[in-house]
Copies of this chain bind each other. A is one copy, B any other.
Amino acid sequence: MSRFQDIFLDIESDILNQQYKAGELLPSENQLSKKYNVSRETIRKALGLLLESGYISKKQGKGSIVLDVKRFNFPISGLTSYKELQDSQNISSETILVKNEIITIPEHIADFLKVSTDTEVHCIIRARKVDGEVVILDKDYLFTSVIPDVPDSEARHSLYHYIENKLNLIIGFARKEFIVEPATQEDRELMTLHNDTHVVVTRSEVHLEDATLFQYTESRHRLDKFRFVEFARRRGPVNYT
Q: A residues touching B (Cβ–Cβ < 8 Å)? A: 16, 23, 54, 57, 59, 62, 65, 67, 69, 71-80, 84-85, 87-88, 114, 160-161, 164, 170-180, 197-198, 200, 207, 209-211, 223-224, 226-235, 237-241
Interfacial chain B residues near A114, Cβ < 8 Å: 71
Residues of B within 8 A of A210 (CB): 57, 59, 62, 65
Which of B65, B177, B198, B228 lies in contact with A198, CB distance below 8 A? B198
**Could you say which of B77, B179, B239 contacts A230, with CB atoms under 8 Å apart?**
B77
Which residue of B85, B171, B234 contacts A173 across the interface (Cβ within 8 Å)? B234
A240 adjacent to B175 (CB under 8 Å) = no
* Residue ID in chain B nearest A222 by CB atoms: B180
9 A-B residue pairings within 8 Å (CB atoms):
A54-B173, A57-B172, A57-B173, A73-B241, A74-B175, A76-B240, A78-B235, A160-B237, A174-B231
CB distance A88 to B172 under 8 Å? no
> How far does the alpha carbon of A176 sit from the alpha carbon of B197 in the complex, in Å?
26
Chain B residue with the shortest CB-CB distance to A226? B180
- Give which listed residue, B88, B200, B240, contacts A180 with CB less than 8 A: B200
With contacts A180-B180, A198-B198, A227-B179 taken as known, whether A174 is within 8 angstroms of B232 at the C-beta atoms is yes
Most buried by B among A16, A177, A180: A180
A241 touching B78 by the CB < 8 A rule?
A: no
Q: Which residues of B contact A16 (CB under 8 A)?
A: 241
Contact A172 B234 (CB under 8 A): yes
Q: Closest approach, in angstroms, between the C-beta of A62 and any C-beta of chain B?
A: 7
Q: How far, in whole Å, are A207 and B231 apart by their CA atoms in the complex? A: 11
CB distance from A233 to the nearest CB of B (A): 5
Cα–Cα, bound, A178→B176 (Å) = 15
Q: In the complex, which of the residues B170, B197, B233 contacts A197, with contact meaning CB atoms closer than 8 Å?
A: B197
With A65-B211, A238-B80, A238-B85 as given contacts, are A232 and B173 in contact (CB-CB < 8 Å)? yes
Closest 7 CB pairs of A and B: A178-B228, A84-B238, A79-B234, A180-B223, A171-B234, A79-B232, A173-B233
